[in-house]
Chains A and B, each alone.
Chain A
Amino acid sequence: MKNEAIISIRDFTMKFGNHTVIENLNFEVLRGETFGLLGSNGSGKTTTLRALLGMYIPTSGSLLINGKKYSVEKGGKLGYLPEERGLYKKEAVLNTMVYFGELKGMNRLDAQKWSIDYLKRVGLSNKTNQKIDQLSGGQQQKVQLGVTIINNPELLILDEPTKGLDPMNRRLLMEIIEEHQKSGATVIFVTHQMEEVERLCDRIILLKDGKAAVYGTIKEIKKQFDNKSLDDIFISIYGNNEDIKYA
């Protein structure tokens, strides 16, 4: 099933008033791969994900998951960790996780069991009945990740998942993502950390001013840029006004 596109974005343009955020963007994400969606702040990464998930209506073009426009009812097993993320502050940790589990189609008991196991794994087993706002920022982020992966998604979309995490928790989170990779899930990964990209991603797209600046496998892209590191490639692209390069 590899090489079959799970996500297909064609001629996608997004305007807010007179401001064009994305212009004629085209790329595909293949089933089972880990795909890096990269770019500087304001380059259109989050807008692309929101439009893909039906939260924004594109000005033109098509954004398809499994060949269809995304709908909650027929969206399949999807996990989305947005950039702007939060949880019900006054709700208990376990109740929050179970609620999201039920929304994702799990039965209450399964959601409860999974949540307890997960909280144990991430060192929050003593926080099950605590309210979200009693947790530290990093602890809240672990709960948010739990909510995202509770239904063992086939498609995992993570918008800057490691933002604000300490090195230990970052490592834990990377391990969890790698487990999903190994189980065959497709992962879309937005990050500014190039070492994370090198560690996890099969292919990447780098957006600049709403357009694709580079697109392809890491190996191909590096070859194209004289085997520079991804950090250097990133800096060189944002330092120059080079044309789009498709590897």
Chain B
Amino acid sequence: MKRAFWGLILSFCMAISAASLTEAAGLFDSQNTGPKILIGEIQSYGDYELQADAFQIFADKLCQELNQHKLMVTGNTGKMSNEEGRHSEGGAGEGALLSKIHMDAIVHGHQFEHGYAAAKLVRYADATMGRRFFYDEERVAAWKKQPQQTYFLSQGVQAAAKKIAGKYGATYLLFVNVKDVDVRLKHGMFASHTTNETRGKKMKAALDYYLINASTGRVYEGHCENKKTAQMYNFALVQGGKGMDVAELLNHIMEAQTDDIVKDIVKNGMKAVH
């Protein structure tokens, strides 16, 4: 009887011990109630690239928007731009696999332009879909006319997506391809001063995003384009306008884009891949 009593106490102590290990990790458990989204990769697979820091800033803004919509966010803390995976060819590391999943979602999607893609993406597209695939213009044009239609990742890639999402406990994976950022200095026709301050700047950015259901590999694809202009003018006795640097313009555009992305995936994306 005594043995049973002390055995019970020992079991109780061990149970408390086990509970205490999970205690520390529970600080953020109650913050959001929605599904957990893994930020897979914020990168450019277009002709040009932004600096890695710009993608990281984009990732922070995206996380904040997702939080505001009560969605839980996860990912590899320091590597949401996945520079290492993006710039490595092959490999079986998590970064390389995330890059592969992103590329697979892009090449199967409606927005892929064979002629305006990064070299790595073109090689992946040719290897996966066959070189002739993108030259069947009628079929590609017909596919582009159905932008709301979801599609699936390749089978092997689907398994990799499921495995990585499982590791982070995520229901969905989200990838963003910031494929085009264009900055123009406007001419100073109405500027009496020709310094930088009076020269206008116009920035445009286009991106595609891919929401993937981790358990089925079904992909929802979205696209958004945003622009921002700033110009100060000093014309004779009239002056006006607003001036800001390029980083500030990019900041405004990123805010608009992350807002657009999250609203769309909440309203349409998650239902589409469910």
Partners in one complex: no
Chain A residues near B (Cβ < 8 Å): none
Chain B residues near A (Cβ < 8 Å): none
